[in-house]
Structure 1
Amino acid sequence: MFDALIDFIRGQYRTNEFIPLHAPVFQGNEKQYVLETVDSTFVSSVGAFVDRFERDMAAYTGSPRAVATVNGTAALHISLLLAGVRPGDLVVTQPLTFVATCNAIAYCNAEPVFVDVDRHTLGLSPTALEEWLEENAYLDPEGTCRTKSGGRVLRACLPMHTFGHPVALDELMDVCGRWNLALVEDAAESLGSLYKGRHTGTFGCVGTLSFNGNKIITTGGGGMILAGEALGIRAKHITTTAKQPHAYEYVHDEVGYNYRLPNLNAALGCAQLESLETFIASKRALAESYEAFFKGYSAQFVREPEGCRSNYWLNAIICENLAQRDALLQSSNQAGVMTRPIWKLMTHLPAFANALRGGLHNALWLEERVVNLPSSVPPEQLA
């Protein structure tokens, strides 16, 4: 399988040179908009492209408000604060995620609780969440969710849409509603992904996006908070150092954060967003090609969940076992075709090794088997 897969990938990208996992594509107005920003001299966090990027992203996702930030982790940090997470609180999340999800929880001086994922979504399992809460939590007379041991506050639930595949949002919202948990969506990887026709990141009280250099569109570095009107106004205020409008005085009414996206980056984002649907169509076509290839092999291609449209940010397969995974990683990378394993579980990292957790059978199983394949938009799709 390994040699055939390498030949297949090289055929998709029409090159014998090194093939990265995911590279950005600049085919539209990127240079024009960035030069306009330079010419305007407004290259920092105030400028026309920041406002435009927020308006365009709100319109694209269907979110009432979109607030641009310097990166996705900053967006997550502020979103958890907006959801009411406070020092000492617990936030339920998945162990199979990029570390930024848990870092943002730590920035709030809160702690994660890890529950298992579903194999078909690779994201937080509503069943595992319900089971853990039934065994370990209760609602106090005020309706606050607390742990049975110690009475600690469980404030929020933070699922991540892994590789662009939406989690089971209906079921998660139902569990969170019954247990009074604020739902915060980490949609960093799922720009353009839809759950039953609605954009990810717009189901919870707040959601976040990322525009890192390896995402489906990029601003170089950047993120976005998706929220309703009131929380959106609040997000913009505290990400702009909590500065009150004034003609010349510096008045800050609370501790704020210097988290606003620079105009220079937003200009790049505006141009990238104009090509997003083209990118999604191309990446979905690539995913179909991968799926057809793997029908003759033991490795299982990860498909979008039923009723969803995934952006297929990173294509992934589930190998038979750890040995097959490691052999694939070694052979492909030695051949100059970049592949990567899924992240180590957060429970295996020193910072989160002592966190509360449920049974993590699926997460452990996937950790040993999932491999990401090159997922950049193929050149023929840009012709």
Structure 2
Amino acid sequence: MSADVVSFIRELYRTNDFVPLHAPTFNGNELKYVTETIESTFVSSVGKYVDDFERKIEAYTGSIKAIATVNGTAALHTALYMAGVKSGDYVITQALTFVATCNALHHMGAEPIFVDVAKVSLSLCPVALDNYLTDNAYSNDKGCFHKTNNRRIGAVVPMHTFGHPAELDEIVAVCAKWNISLVEDAAESLGSFYKGKHTGTIGDLGALSFNGNKIITTGGGGMVLCKDADLGKHTKHVTTTAKVPHPYEFFHDEPGFNYRLPNLNAALGCAQMESLPGFLQQKRLIAQQYQAFFANTEFDFVDEPDYAQSNYWLNAVICPDEETRDRLLKTTNEAGVMTRPIWKLMHRLPFLSNSLRGDLTNSEFIEAHLINLPSSPILDGIEV
């Protein structure tokens, strides 16, 4: 079967060359806009493309205010900060995530509590979340606190794994019940919708990423999504060193971050946004091809949940056992077709090994069985 997978992917991408997991695609106005930026000399944090990029994200996602940042980790850090998470707080998230989720917490002096994911979404499970809180927490009008040490649980952070939206209605209800802020790590899910609403716009705040391997890229870059105009204005202020506008004086009225996205990167993002609808169509076509190929085999293709429309950022299959997974990884990578296992669960990393956690049965199963498949959006010679 492993050799068949290699042959199928090479036929899908119509190449005998190396097939990356997810490569950026530049087929629009990227060179034009970046050249204009260089010629204008406004390549740093001042320039028209930063504002244009923020407005394009607002229009696409339906966010009241979008604030561009230098990368996705900075966006998540900012979102957590604006949600009121403080040093010493706990933040509940999933162990099945990329390390950036936990790095943002570490930078703040907060600590993660890991709960399980749901198999339907590969993202935070609302039942596991409520069960953990019932067994380990109490809440009042001041917030939610851990029973063992009375430390505050400052936020819940679901990560929409591979672009598949979490069960957000249920998570929102749990957060309201326990008086906890909800911050969406939507780094992987630009173009994904939960019951018609874009991911990152349903919680109190959300964070997107535009890293080189995402569905669109600015080289590096991120975006904070805010539901409230005043909060959005304050967030923009904080991410731009909290400088009070003045013709020439430098006055900063609160601690701030220098998280501004350079105009050069934003120019790239504006061009990529023009191609996003086409990318999404291509990636849905790729997912359909994988789904058909793996039908009636021992592999289970990871499909979008019934309640959602996924961007299919990274396609994935669940292998029947760990031995089959390892064999497929070895065969494909040796053949120049890039596949990857999912991340190691966060509590297995040295700096997170002592983190509090609930039962992680689903996370451990997925860790041992899942493989990501090449998912770059443009297929040579295949029309949408």
Give the TM-score normalised by the residue count of structure 1: 0.99
1:168-215 per-residue CA deviation (whole Å, 9 max, x = no partner) reads: 000000000100110000000000000001100000110010000000
The separation in 2 between residues aligned to 1:330 and 1:31, in whole angstroms, is: 37
In structure 1, the partner of 2:123 is 123
SS of equivalent to 2:381: helix
In structure 2, the partner of 1:220 is 219
CA deviation after TM superposition for structure 1 residue 382, in Å: 6.3
| CA pair 381-187 structure 1, distance change in 2 beyond 3 A | farther
| Pair 1:379-2:380 in alignment | yes
Runs of 4+ in structure 1 deviating by more than 4 angstroms, as ranges, are: none
CA deviation after TM superposition for structure 1 residue 53, in Å: 0.2
In structure 2, the partner of 1:203 is 202
1:280-336 per-residue CA deviation (whole Å, 9 max, x = no partner) reads: 000001100000000131010000001211000000000011111100000000000
SS of equivalent to 1:42: coil
Letter in 1 for 2:380: P
The separation in 2 between residues aligned to 1:7 and 1:168, in whole angstroms, is: 36
In structure 2, the partner of 1:306 is 306
In structure 1, the partner of 2:244 is 244
In structure 2, the partner of 1:160 is 159
The separation in 2 between residues aligned to 1:97 and 1:164, in whole angstroms, is: 12
In structure 2, the partner of 1:70 is 70
Letter in 2 for 1:279: F
In structure 2, the partner of 1:191 is 190
1:127-146 residue pairs with structure 2 within 5 A? 127-140=127-140, 142-146=141-145
The separation in 1 between residues aligned to 2:154 and 2:71, in whole angstroms, is: 24
The separation in 1 between residues aligned to 2:271 and 2:380, in whole angstroms, is: 19
CA deviation after TM superposition for structure 1 residue 230, in Å: 1.6
In structure 1, the partner of 2:177 is 178
CA deviation after TM superposition for structure 1 residue 254, in Å: 1.6
The separation in 1 between residues aligned to 2:144 and 2:257, in whole angstroms, is: 29
SS of equivalent to 2:145: strand
SS of equivalent to 1:25: coil
The separation in 2 between residues aligned to 1:235 and 1:326, in whole angstroms, is: 44
CA deviation after TM superposition for structure 1 residue 139, in Å: 1.2
In structure 1, the partner of 2:14 is 14
1:21-100 residue pairs with structure 2 within 5 A? 21-100=21-100
Unaligned runs of 5+ in 2: none
In structure 1, the partner of 2:292 is 292
In structure 1, the partner of 2:340 is 340
CA deviation after TM superposition for structure 1 residue 155, in Å: 1.1
1:244-272 per-residue CA deviation (whole Å, 9 max, x = no partner) reads: 00010010112211100000000000000
Unaligned runs of 5+ in 1: none
| CA pair 72-381 structure 1, distance change in 2 beyond 3 A | farther
The separation in 1 between residues aligned to 2:189 and 2:381, in whole angstroms, is: 24
In structure 1, the partner of 2:266 is 266
1:95-114 residue pairs with structure 2 within 5 A? 95-114=95-114
Letter in 2 for 1:258: N
SS of equivalent to 1:380: coil
| Pair 1:370-2:362 in alignment | no
The separation in 2 between residues aligned to 1:380 and 1:300, in whole angstroms, is: 28
Give the TM-score normalised by the residue count of structure 2: 0.98
Letter in 2 for 1:315: N
SS of equivalent to 1:19: coil
SS of equivalent to 2:166: coil
Letter in 2 for 1:19: V
Percentage identity across paired residues of the two chains? 60
